[in-house]
């Protein structure tokens, strides 16, 4: 799939894990090779259909969106796409790569009859502005979390 400005979009492959981890390391300063390879493997294996995309510039992978399509998760009967990761090499930031990948993902999902994409971010994540500019808004669900560390447990012992 040819996008604008020399960006080529394609389906991610298992062999892309190493390149994704190098992109991530350039952004975060941490080597998470094994974590990224497993994350990619899960995205390709565990989704009901493969929707993850990569972006290439001059034949080099410079970005990715990892996601999945789920059917019937958390008691919701209709399919929903889950956006897990948006990753763009810092050397190619602000060139429209994330936008191209997100728009292609949305287009592909629409053609499959899926009408929603969900994702989670921290409240103060700078990505919230980018996602908001692409139509993401607060979802009508409440995510609950329970700490399992002993000092954060508020339950009274009897």
Domain annotation covers residue 98: yes
Q: What is the mean pLDDT of the chain?
A: 85
Residue 154 pLDDT more than 60?
no
Torsion sign (Cα): 90, 91, 92, 93? positive
The answer to whether 88 and 56 have CB atoms below 8 angstroms apart is no
E strand intervals along the chain: 7-11, 53-57, 60-70, 80-88, 117-118
CATH number for the domain that contains residue 113: 3.40.630.30
Domain annotation covers residue 35: yes
The whole-number average pLDDT for the span 49-77 is: 84
Domain annotation covers residue 74: yes
Domain annotation covers residue 15: yes
**81 compared with 61, residue with greater pLDDT:** 61
Between vectors from CA 134 to CA 43 and to CA 28, what angle results, nearest 5°? 55
Is residue 99 very low, low, confident or very high in pLDDT (cuts 50, 70, 90)?
Answer: very high
Domain annotation covers residue 2: no
pTM, full prediction: 0.81
Question: Which pLDDT tens digit goes with each residue over 18-44?
Answer: 999 999 999 889 999 888 888 888 877
Residue 46, domain extent: 7-152
Domain annotation covers residue 93: yes
Domain annotation covers residue 1: no
pLDDT score of 1: 66
pLDDT score of 43: 77
If phi > 0 it is left, if psi is from -120 to 50 it is alpha, else beta; for residue 29 that is left
Domain annotation covers residue 124: yes
Q: Total domain count for the chain? A: 1
């Amino acid at each position: 799939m040819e996008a604008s400005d020399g960006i080529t979009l394609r389906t991610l492959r298992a062999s892309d894990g190493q390149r994704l981890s190098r992109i991530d390391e350039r952004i975060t300063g941490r080597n998470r090779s094994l974590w990224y390879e497993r994350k990619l493997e899960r995205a390709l294996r565990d989704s009901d259909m493969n929707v993850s995309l990569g972006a290439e510039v001059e034949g080099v992978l410079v970005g990715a969106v990892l996601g999945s399509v789920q059917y019937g998760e958390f008691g919701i009967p209709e399919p929903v796409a889950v956006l897990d990761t948006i990753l763009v090499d810092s050397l190619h930031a602000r060139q429209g790569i994330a936008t191209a990948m997100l728009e292609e993902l949305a287009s592909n999902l629409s053609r499959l009859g899926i009408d929603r994409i969900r994702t989670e971010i921290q409240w103060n994540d700078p990505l919230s502005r980018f996602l908001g500019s692409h139509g993401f808004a607060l979802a009508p669900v409440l995510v609950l979390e329970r700490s399992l560390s002993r000092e954060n447990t508020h339950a009274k012992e009897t």
